[in-house]
Amino acid sequence: MLADLEELVTCESFSADHAAVARSAGVVGALGTMLLGAAPETIVIGGATHLRWVLGTPRVLLLGHHDTVWPVGSLRRLPWSSDGGIARGPGVLDMKAGLVQLFHALASLPSPDGVCVLVNGDEEVGSPTSRQLIEDAARGCSAAFVMEASADASGALKTARKGTSRYEVVVRGRAAHAGQDPHLGVNAAVEAAHQVLAVVGLGASPGTAGDGGPALGSTTVTPTLLSAGTTRNTVPALARVSVDVRAPTAAAQDRVDALMRGLTARTPGARLEVLGGRQRPPMEAESSAGLSALACRLAAELGQGPLRGVAVGGASDGNLTAAVGCPTLDGLGGVGAGAHTDGEYVDVARMVPRARLLARLVARLIDDTTD
């Protein structure tokens, strides 16, 4: 498993580099072919390369991605290493360890029939080209297991995820000479400042976390990118504000969407346009409750100790499977920490136990649906 992980990590697969993602798909496909005894269907949509194995009549969906947030060349600065039981390298946790565990788990079964494996190549950018593939696969299955990394270094599963929305508030004003005729302009930067203050008040915070931040179950509305103007001596005629929204329920996501589209300009003469909208729906706790309870029982049977489930703020493709009504359990991948950071790592000793847990889950679900 460690050798396979090294092979995947050392084949870089930055989402925006379609050639790199295609090379990675070749490596992932070869590993899956070797361990599953079947070659995948390679699907290229919009330049992104996805892999799909349909083994028998699928009843369980195993979902992963092989793209990463790391630009090609990151390995020179952050090379693959495995020392003292810790594996490091770009994408090692998010989520190449999960892919290795997935294939080895299925290889340990008497037969992988009854499983659909879908590994997409654009998850890190929101799965724009693979979303339909994911939703269609999930509709035909009784359960989906997502191989994203565990919620924390203890190995907790992800039993709920917030939904995500992305907006851009475009502010249009009127240019004028900043020294000679500022009164003739309509300052889009000033109006953008008003909008920043307006959108930060759209979140709902029923409580606070221990560090004084928003409670995990709250809705967060966060201005992120901000730009305005063309030259230092011109009243800005255009400004843009990007807004990130995380909502724990569909109702909360809808509420913020309505409020965003209801924003009004405060500066006379300024005009607003709100672009974007919902990206991924929430994965609410109800969608994972039964599978989470089963995972806890099976972990105990395997002698792996107590297994926790937690809600997290980030989204994954599990949001999509849950939204179409497929019971979904996330966070079954690698155990470690630091995803998307230079400190990203995987606890190597946890890879085999996690693969065994996944294998037991898949076997139980296939047996139950067959009966």
13 and 148 belong to one structural domain: yes
211 and 351 belong to one structural domain: no
Distance from C-alpha of 169 to C-alpha of 226, rounded to nearest angstrom: 10
229 and 339 belong to one structural domain: no
Beta carbons within 8 Å of 181's beta carbon, 6+ residues apart: none
Q: What is the pLDDT of residue 211?
A: 44
Beta strands in 39-107 (DSSP E): 41-45, 48-55, 60-65, 81-83, 86-88
Mean predicted confidence (pLDDT) in 332-361: 98
Phi–psi pair at 90, nearest 5 degrees: -60, 120
Q: Which of 249, 280, 311 is the last residue of a domain?
A: 280
Q: What is the pLDDT of residue 368?
A: 75
43 and 69 belong to one structural domain: yes
- Residue 215's domain spans which residues? 163-280
Mean predicted confidence (pLDDT) in 204-212: 47
198 and 275 belong to one structural domain: yes
Q: What is the pLDDT of residue 207?
A: 43
Q: What is the pLDDT of residue 4?
A: 98
* Residue 2 clears pLDDT 50, i.e. is over it: yes
Q: Kindly report the CATH number assigned to the domain that includes residue 255.
A: 3.30.70.360
At 228-276, the pLDDT tens digits run: 999 999 999 999 999 999 999 999 999 999 999 999 999 999 999 999 9
CA angle 365-370-371, nearest 5°? Answer: 100
| Count of domains forming the chain | 2
* Residue 129 clears pLDDT 60, i.e. is over it: yes
Q: What is the pLDDT of residue 217?
A: 64
Q: Which of 280, 301, 331 is the last residue of a domain?
A: 280
At 170-199, the pLDDT tens digits run: 999 999 999 999 999 999 999 999 999 999
* Residue 209 clears pLDDT 60, i.e. is over it: no
Q: Which of 258, 280, 302 is the last residue of a domain?
A: 280
233 and 339 belong to one structural domain: no
156 and 217 belong to one structural domain: no
At 285-300, the pLDDT tens digits run: 999 999 999 999 999 9
- Give the Cβ contact number of residue 176 at 10 Å: 18
Q: What is the pLDDT of residue 53?
A: 98
* Residue 100 clears pLDDT 50, i.e. is over it: yes
Distance from C-alpha of 148 to C-alpha of 96, rounded to nearest angstrom: 9
* Residue 204 clears pLDDT 70, i.e. is over it: no
148 and 195 belong to one structural domain: no
* Residue 20 clears pLDDT 70, i.e. is over it: yes
Is the peptide bond preceding residue 95 cis, with omega within 30 degrees of 0? yes
Q: Kindly report the CATH number assigned to the domain that includes residue 364.
A: 3.40.630.10
Q: What is the pLDDT of residue 213?
A: 46
175 and 262 belong to one structural domain: yes
Q: What is the pLDDT of residue 369?
A: 58
108 and 153 belong to one structural domain: yes
Mean predicted confidence (pLDDT) in 195-216: 67
Would you place residue 305 in the very low, low, confident or very high pLDDT band (cuts 50, 70, 90)?
A: confident
Q: What is the share, in percent, of the chain residues with pLDDT greater than 90?
A: 94
* Residue 99 clears pLDDT 60, i.e. is over it: yes
What kind and span of H or E run contains 255? Answer: helix 250-261
77 and 114 belong to one structural domain: yes
Q: DSSP label at 344? A: -
Mean pLDDT over each residue of the chain, to the nearest integer: 95
Token pair 């070797």 is found at 34
Q: What is this structure's pTM? A: 0.88
53 and 74 belong to one structural domain: yes
Q: For the purposes of burial, counting CB atoms within 10 Å of the CB of 73, is it exposed (0-12), middle (13-18) or buried (19 or more)?
A: exposed
